[in-house]
Homo-oligomer: A and B are copies of this chain.
Amino acid sequence: MSYQQLEKTFYRLAQLDHASAMLGWDQQVMMPPKGNDARGRAMAELSVIATEILQQDSLSDLFDAAEDDKLSLETWQQGNLREMTRAWKTAVAVPGELIEAEVMATNECQHAWRSYRSSNNWLDFQPLLEKVFDLSREKAQALNTALADEQGYQNDYDALLDLFDPGTRLAKVDTFFNQLKTVLPDLQNRIMARQQRLSAPLLPSQPVPRLTQLALSRDIMSVLGFDFEAGRLDETLHPFSGGVSDDSRITSRIDENNVLESIMATIHETGHSRYETGLNRDWRFKPVGHSMGMSIHESQSLFFEMQMARSKAFVDAIQPMVSKHLGTDPAFNAENLHSIYTQVQPSLIRVNADEVTYPLHVILRYEIERDVILGRTTVADIPERWDEAMLKYLGLDTRGNYQDGPMQDIHWPSGAIGYFPSYTLGAMNAAQLHHAVVQAIPHAADLVGRLELEPIFNWLAVNIWQKGCLLSTDELMREATGEALQAHYFIDHLRSRYL
């Protein structure tokens, strides 16, 4: 009975989440600029309402009673109770005013970011970002104080990691990232030396109109099983996947001079979307039915983009579709396309980075945000830290170039601090999952070559999508692949593709 009452409370929260998700999508895709103040207020208020619901005094007794009756519940209900409890304890730990302040600050910073980024204006941006980091730190401290014993946090940053990727801790990230830092620079040099011996791929000779790019993107999305009756593709500066599981809203960045980027951005977001829309409908509006943390979410987008779409088999397979939309420019033949899609080259922009250098972009951001949260550095020092790390990891000089430096990502302005590590953990999970797929479906590459992707999607549906967050990330990976995350699958994948 108390369990059912809790389910009802979380049904209401799911509806508030729906509203916030759609208002957030609209804000980035449709909203005119002067609408931002009112939108910020509305979204902040929805957050506060959700928090107040979770902070009602009556919930404590309900959770106690539900916990006592736990053995009468089915397994998935026990998982649901665990997830409800996690959400409740997290909400109770952070005061409503702090959440409201954070929504307002991130809304303001995110909005300002759009114009300051294009004018390379770090100075006016910095105080807004400081406000966001200050509030994030305050939140991290509150969470760490309240939940350290229960969740085993060793520091404030652990509490932020846990918000985006439950179970991930600084110590684990450090371990994995140190492994990568040991291997990647050397690997990168060997790959670049090898690629220098080959002839450079041709680049497209003409810009491609926006509508043509969108039409091609939609065709590829259909091949990837995206249901346009239950979702949309639109354009934004920074691609994202939003909406709700019944109504998936993905966006792509369309640059007329870079059609190849928009194709991959679309495929990446389609991976996120398939995960969300493939969740177990019996658990709709229930926390156990949510997608897992971001390192699993990102594993799905990167499975689509990196493991599948940049394979030779996939590039060959979509070539007719590409020709149909983009014409006969030799840059778009399969051989050349695959060569472009597997070029390794250090560059300034994370979202354009290849999969070999990408982890270094992530490690750089991780080290900076970790240190700001732990008080080892300040927001004012970010540009200097950035420049140093870019030089050290990627050999690039970024001094004075804020727009392609610390202002390039929407994550910090939007308060997503503790998020970046998930990209690389996701790439590692994707490699390990792909290895498991090939074990389970030995002719997977042939299927990809014929664009008969259903068996692969079914494997993902059964092993990942349908499980919601019934299991922990470690358990999920163990059930799907036989072991918890290991770095070597990712490194093996890079070696096998690029050397």
For A375, list chain B residues within 8 Å (CB). Answer: none
The distance in angstroms between the C-alpha atoms of A315 and B88, with both chains bound, is 62
In chain B, what residue has the closest Cβ to A243?
B35
The distance in angstroms between the C-alpha atoms of A230 and B33, with both chains bound, is 6
For A12, list chain B residues within 8 Å (CB). Answer: 45, 49
| Residue A246 interfacial (CB < 8 Å) | yes
| Residue A442 interfacial (CB < 8 Å) | no
Contact A227 B39 (CB under 8 A): no
Given A18-B42, A23-B22, A42-B19, check contact A32 B231 (CB 8 Å). Answer: yes
| Residue A247 interfacial (CB < 8 Å) | yes
| Residue A30 interfacial (CB < 8 Å) | yes
Contact B42 A15 (CB under 8 A): yes
| Residue A38 interfacial (CB < 8 Å) | yes
Query: Which residues of A (1-58) have their CB < 8 Å from a CB of B?
Result: 11-12, 15-16, 18-19, 22-23, 26, 30-35, 37-39, 41-42, 44-46, 49
For A49, list chain B residues within 8 Å (CB). Answer: 12, 16, 49
Query: Which residues of A (200-259) have their CB < 8 Å from a CB of B?
Result: 227-232, 243-247
For A23, list chain B residues within 8 Å (CB). Answer: 19, 22-23
Given A15-B41, A38-B246, A45-B12, check contact A30 B232 (CB 8 Å). Answer: yes
Contact A38 B232 (CB under 8 A): no
Q: List 30 A-B contacts (CB under 8 A).
A: A12-B45, A15-B41, A15-B42, A15-B46, A16-B42, A16-B46, A18-B38, A18-B41, A18-B42, A19-B19, A22-B42, A32-B228, A32-B231, A32-B232, A32-B247, A33-B229, A33-B230, A34-B227, A34-B230, A34-B246, A34-B247, A35-B230, A35-B243, A35-B244, A35-B246, A35-B247, A38-B244, A38-B245, A38-B246, A41-B285
- Contact partner of A34 (CB less than 8 A), chosen from B18, B22, B32, B229, is B229
For A229, list chain B residues within 8 Å (CB). Answer: 32-34
The distance in angstroms between the C-alpha atoms of A497 and B33, with both chains bound, is 41
Choose among A11, A33, A39, A285 the residue with the greatest number of B CB atoms under 10 Å from its CB: A39
For A11, list chain B residues within 8 Å (CB). Answer: 45
In chain B, what residue has the closest Cβ to A249?
B30
**Nearest chain B CB to A22's CB is how many angstroms away?**
6
Given A18-B38, A35-B244, A38-B246, 11 additional A-B pairs, CB 8 A: A12-B45, A15-B42, A16-B46, A19-B23, A30-B30, A32-B232, A34-B227, A34-B246, A34-B247, A38-B245, A38-B247
**Nearest chain B CB to A239's CB is how many angstroms away?**
18
The distance in angstroms between the C-alpha atoms of A17 and B355, with both chains bound, is 44
In chain B, what residue has the closest Cβ to A45?
B15
Contact B19 A246 (CB under 8 A): no
The distance in angstroms between the C-alpha atoms of A231 and B32, with both chains bound, is 6
Contact B31 A247 (CB under 8 A): yes
**Nearest chain B CB to A268's CB is how many angstroms away?**
20
Contact bitstring A88-101, B, C-beta under 8 A = 1, else 0: 00000000000000
For A39, list chain B residues within 8 Å (CB). Answer: 18, 247
Contact bitstring A451-471, B, C-beta under 8 A = 1, else 0: 000000000000000000000
The distance in angstroms between the C-alpha atoms of A244 and B30, with both chains bound, is 14
The distance in angstroms between the C-alpha atoms of A231 and B26, with both chains bound, is 12
The distance in angstroms between the C-alpha atoms of A37 and B281, with both chains bound, is 13
For A44, list chain B residues within 8 Å (CB). Answer: 15
The distance in angstroms between the C-alpha atoms of A49 and B12, with both chains bound, is 9
The distance in angstroms between the C-alpha atoms of A15 and B31, with both chains bound, is 16
**Nearest chain B CB to A341's CB is how many angstroms away?**
30
For A38, list chain B residues within 8 Å (CB). Answer: 18, 244-247
In chain B, what residue has the closest Cβ to A27?
B22
